[in-house]
Amino acid sequence: MDGKNDNIVEEGEMSKIEEGVATTPAAAAADVPETKNKNNNGGCSSSTSTPCIAQKLFAEIIGTYFVIFAGCGSVAVNKIYGSVTFPGVCVTWGLIVMVMIYTLGHISGAHFNPAVTIALAIFNRFPRNQVPVYIVSQALGSYLASLTICWIVDVTPKAYFGTVPVGSNGQSLIAEIIISFLLMFIGELAGIAVGMTIMLNVFVAGPISGASMNPARSIGPAMVKHVYKGIWVYMVGPIIGTIAGGFAYKLISCKYKQPPLAQLNKTTTTSFLKSNS
């Protein structure tokens, strides 16, 4: 009997992810209740439903590592061998973020981005005392991924996989603010929606600023290759953009609770079938 109950719980959790109920940064910045960790000392709880801070940090390191490894790796491979193409780079960024959200979102929240962590803390949807260790974990994951890329491919100065302003710093700053705003603004749709948003942002802003949207994405390669041109743009722009995006979503959503996408689809389908019966 216990095994059947566990299966029902697991199926329920999976259905929530598949139906888009999983919380995204913007939804968390609005009125989604924050899950409280009953284990206030930071140790691992005996309850399997409450990850401890160590598990969360390890998840952020691993998740950020693979986001940077796949995304920046595709940039480096494309610049060296030309086999990925720019659309392929855009798709790679979107896919890896989507995969990591579905894999680790239930453990750490799948931030992988200091700007997202800071914005959530400002809106009281993330414990402020955990912000520093989250940021350190994300930066560490990015640094290790950047080191790995440099070990497996010959990264020349022309094949630099970090972010450098193509035009002026001002142009790149505006681009980073806008695309980071959109990343935080997309609402309660998770996983696929976040991945598609990142893919679209890279398509639009990639040729302008490199479409970082993430201070960790920029600082890791910069530290490994010692390229700091315009690095402040990628520290300031995403933070401003995510805070503004979260504030805008909170402002227009108010107390309104948007139904999950799957529920909307189910309602629409049911109405359609009834109208044709």
Query: Averaged over 141-145, what is the pLDDT?
Result: 98
Q: Quick check: 53 and 133 in contact, CB under 8 A?
A: yes
Q: Quick check: 164 and 210 in contact, CB under 8 A?
A: yes
Band (pLDDT 50/70/90 cuts) for residue 253 is confident
Domain ranges of the chain: 22-31+51-254
Query: Averaged over 47-76, what is the pLDDT?
Result: 93
pLDDT, residue 9, reads 43
Q: What is the share, in percent, of the chain residues with pLDDT greater than 70?
A: 73
Band (pLDDT 50/70/90 cuts) for residue 50 is confident
Query: Averaged over 19-30, what is the pLDDT?
Result: 48
Between vectors from CA 208 to CA 212 and to CA 89, what angle results, nearest 5°? 60
- Where is average pLDDT lowest: 51-60, 211-220, 255-264? 255-264
Residue 179 phi/psi, 5-degree rounding, is -70, -30
DSSP 158: G
Q: Quick check: 205 and 217 in contact, CB under 8 A?
A: no
Between vectors from CA 59 to CA 54 and to CA 64, what angle results, nearest 5°? 130
CA–CA gap between residue 27 and residue 110 (Å, rounded): 14
Q: Quick check: 142 and 217 in contact, CB under 8 A?
A: yes
Is the pLDDT at 181 greater than 90? The verdict is: yes
Cβ-proximal residues to 162 (8 Å cutoff; 6+ apart), any chain? 72, 146, 210, 218, 220, 221, 222, 225, 227
Number of helices followed by number of strands (H, E) in the chain: 11, 0
pLDDT, residue 257, reads 59
Average pLDDT value for the chain: 83
Comparing 12 with 89, the larger pLDDT belongs to 89
Between vectors from CA 13 to CA 7 and to CA 18, what angle results, nearest 5°? 120
Is the pLDDT at 18 greater than 90? The verdict is: no
Query: Averaged over 66-76, what is the pLDDT?
Result: 97
| The token pair that represents 100 in the structure block | 């990591």
CA–CA gap between residue 214 and residue 113 (Å, rounded): 5
Q: What is the pLDDT of residues 185-224, one digit of tens each?
A: 986 667 899 999 999 999 999 999 999 999 999 999 999 9
Angle between helix 131-152 and helix 53-81 axes, rounded to 10 deg: 30
pLDDT, residue 186, reads 87
- Read off the pTM: 0.79
Q: What is the pLDDT of residues 86-134, one digit of tens each?
A: 999 999 999 999 999 999 999 999 999 999 999 999 999 999 999 999 9
DSSP 37: -
Is the pLDDT at 16 greater than 80? The verdict is: no
Residue type for 76, please? A
Is 22-31+51-254 a CATH 3.40.1190.20 domain? no
Cα torsion for 114, 184, 27, 37, to the nearest 10°? 0
